[in-house]
Amino acid sequence: MPSVALPGEKAELIERTVAFQGHFRMARYRFRHTLYLGGQSDEISREVFERGRAAAVLPYDPVRDEVVLIRQFRAGTFSAGRHPWCWEIVAGMIEEGEAPADVARREAVEEAAVQILDLLPLYSLVLSPGACSETCDIFLGRIDACGVGGIHGLVSENEDILVQAMPFTEACALLARDEIDNSAAVIALQWLALHRDELRSRWG
């Protein structure tokens, strides 16, 4: 759910211009906003990486107590000086007219060759609110993990995705060793750690 405004919190857009348009878009915003001590801020100029809306899903088999994680090369992680292959959960961008749940189901098939049997919404987040407009709707998806794994992804999008089903305890061990640094994956796995018994009782 989007953040709810507190009394007096208002922002005014003065101007938006596109500063760069390539594979991604950077826009320059000029705005002012109210101050907690009263009055208004000076005019502020900020560049924002306009990324759009994403949907992500952690596939989970409650009978086998296994999750499905994916691993692929990431340019952003590479530029941050980290090892650029990351453990993640399935995710994709939401196109015009699409529902987040439909994208989660579609991407599960495209990226991991797995069918989502039930879908549970967890959170709707702004991933990096100081610099990027990207939002992400995170889901947990019930699956049958039998036979899941291999190399998947769309060749037309240059995807080379390693798919691995693993015991939930193994995924938690990766998390504890700080080997999962993708925010959506960390959030979904921690949610599952808190609610796993209840979920296995409901879905098992």
Per-residue pLDDT, 2: 65
- 106 with 199, same domain? yes
The reply to whether 4 falls in a domain is: no
- 43, 50, 157, 198: the catalytic one is 157
Tally of domains within the chain: 2
CATH of the domain at 130: 3.90.79.10
Is the pTM for the entire model greater than 0.85? yes
The reply to whether 183 falls in a domain is: yes
What do you get for the CA distance between the two ends of the chain, in Å?
29
Nearest in space to 59 (alpha carbons), one of 171, 173, 153, 155:
171
Q: Rounded to whole angstroms, how far apart are CA atoms 192 and 112?
A: 19
- 181 with 109, same domain? yes
Could you state, in chain order, the average pLDDT of each consecutive group of 10 residues for the chain (204 residues)?
Answer: 84 96 94 96 96 96 98 92 94 95 96 97 94 96 96 82 97 95 96 96 87
The reply to whether 91 falls in a domain is: yes
- 45 with 68, same domain? no
**Contact (Cβ atoms closer than 8 angstroms) between residue 128 and residue 137:** no
Q: Rounded to whole angstroms, how far apart are CA atoms 4 and 1?
A: 8
Per-residue pLDDT, 153: 81
The reply to whether 2 falls in a domain is: no
The position carrying tokens 């502020």 is: 44
- C-alpha count within 13 angstroms, C-beta hemisphere, residue 142: 13
The reply to whether 111 falls in a domain is: yes
The reply to whether 198 falls in a domain is: yes
Nearest in space to 163 (alpha carbons), one of 153, 172, 173:
153
Residue type at position 77: T
The tokens of 176 are what? 């504890």
Per-residue pLDDT, 3: 75
The position carrying tokens 């999750």 is: 67
DSSP secondary structure code for residue 148 in this structure = -
Q: Which residues contact 9 (CB under 8 A, 6 or more apart)?
A: 33, 34
**Chain centre to alpha carbon of residue 151:** 21
12 in active site: no
Q: Which domain holds residue 106?
A: 53-203
Give the helix/strand (H/E) hosting 174: helix 168-176
Q: Which residues contact 52 (CB under 8 A, 6 or more apart)?
A: 93, 94, 133, 134
Per-residue pLDDT, 1: 56
Residue type at position 56: A
